[in-house]
Amino acid sequence: MRVGDYPALTGTMVVLLILAFTRLRPARRSIAHGNHCRPIFVQPLTTVIAASREPAAIWVSEAEMKRLQLTESLIHDFYTTDFLTLATDEGLQDHLRKAIARYGVGSCGPRGFFGTLTPHIILERELTALLDQPALIYSSASAVIPSALCVFCTDGDLLVSAYDASPEIIRAIALVGSPVMQTECLPYLHFPGTTGKELKMRLESPDVISELQRGKEAFEAFLQTLPSVQNSRWLVADSIWEGRLLHLPLLLELTEKYHLRVLLNDPYGLGALGSHGRGAPELWEDAGFSIFPSSFDLLCQSLEHSLASIGGVCSGAMHLIEQQRNQGLGYCFSASAPPGLCEAARYAIRQLDPLVEELHKKTAYLHSCLMSRGIPFQACGGPLVMIPCEDAQLAQHELLRRQFLVGIGSATLIRVTVTRGHGHEDLEALTDVIAEVIGQ
């Protein structure tokens, strides 16, 4: 049989091949989008190997002291994001040991393939009650956004994000392959407080009002340039970035006006922001705004910071959550979280109210210490504080030489993490050392 004997069949096959390659190429090209954010330091550049750990400090061995050129074995820990210090809590550890004795260490497989045990189901129910909307847990916090976006976005959708978005969002955008438009106009706010009442007072400041008005005009001008698409347009945003808080009421006002769906990434909010630790939406609700977790199409949060566990949670409308159960790659094909750690998260949720209040007091005290010394900083209403400096890597090294371990937010920002275990004397000592290092 020769190809020339069947011209109609040959022509049909050629057309199908051309259409297939033409349709696949745009999605592949969008992965290599040129407007990615600058690199983000998510680990301390100086590795510290701890011999033992306390709620607000770590101990190192003599060999580690020599390697790091330290004079003492005790290092004050302002890097670890265990905000409520539950990872070292005796009650939680005892609860975890009992769960391991009953369920074992690991699970059998993915949630849909014999990997669902009683702790997984109960934890999802408690998170649903806490957030007042259906919730789904993932075994890794870094898998939540990529898995959720891949379910709802295709090459016919448009993604909108910030230039300096978090690594989770950048990774998700690359995996989805949808066209991307990035902006520098998201309305972030410096908020040196912890309560909704303080946030409301901050928003009444004339300087803040004028700043937000300029930000609103710039963001609205950007939204007006968005092209129409075949399916839907998604805005994917971080609730906290570089120590600043996203203005959620303004964001929702404009996304509703210009018909964008919203995925909010709130990794540090659960257990740290809001009067009951429900996250950034609750903080704005405390300030008198009608902002709830259900105000967003999808709300992604982490269990790995305040709740002494692993994994993440995605909450939203019932049909969006059930669709992830059926099609989410990170849910269907990743091994489920260890049942013992699900029990640890349940234990932490039941302790939230008094612990969150104590954390807010420690955070407010650090803010007052920094302001009294005239040290500039960026705050978000939570336990993460960013302090500008000329060289963050050098500043981190100098602070470590003085027995203080801090993180790095960017090339010119050091990140200080406040936890419930820090005493007033620890926060005062840190402030004095930072003033020496950055020259204030």
The span from the CA of 74 to the CA of 153, in Å, is 49
DSSP string, 265-293: EETTTTTTSSTTS--HHHHHHHTT----G
Strands (E), 286-381: 298-302, 312-316, 378-379
Give per-residue pLDDT as tens, 42-51.
445 567 777 7
DSSP reduced 3-state for 364: helix
Q: 38 pLDDT exceeds 70?
A: no
Does the pLDDT of residue 40 top 80, yes or no?
A: no
Q: Does the pLDDT value for residue 220 go beyond 90?
A: yes
- At residue 440, the pLDDT reads 58
pLDDT tens digits, one per residue of 336-358:
999 999 999 999 999 999 999 99
Secondary structure letter of residue 411 according to DSSP:
T
* Tokens standing for residue 24: 């696949």
Report the b/e string of 161-193 with b at 16+ CB within 10 A.
bbebbbebbbbbbebbbbbbbbbebbbbbbbbb
Per-residue pLDDT band at 35 (split at 50, 70, 90): very low
Residue 39, pLDDT above cutoff 50: no
Token readout for 156 is: 């016919």
Q: β-strands 74-78, 52-54: how paired?
A: unpaired
pTM of the model: 0.86
Burial of 19 (0-12, 13-18, 19+ CB in 10 A): exposed
**CATH numbers and ranges of domains, the chain:** 52-90+353-438 (3.90.1150.10), 107-350 (3.40.640.10)
* pLDDT(13) > 90: no
pLDDT at 250 over 90: yes
In this predicted structure, the answer to whether residue 26 has a pLDDT above a threshold of 50 is no
Q: According to the model, what pLDDT value does residue 156 have?
A: 83
Here the tokens at position 363 are 């955070």
Q: What is the pLDDT of residue 2?
A: 59
pLDDT tens profile 294-343: 999 999 999 999 999 999 999 999 999 999 999 988 898 888 999 999 99
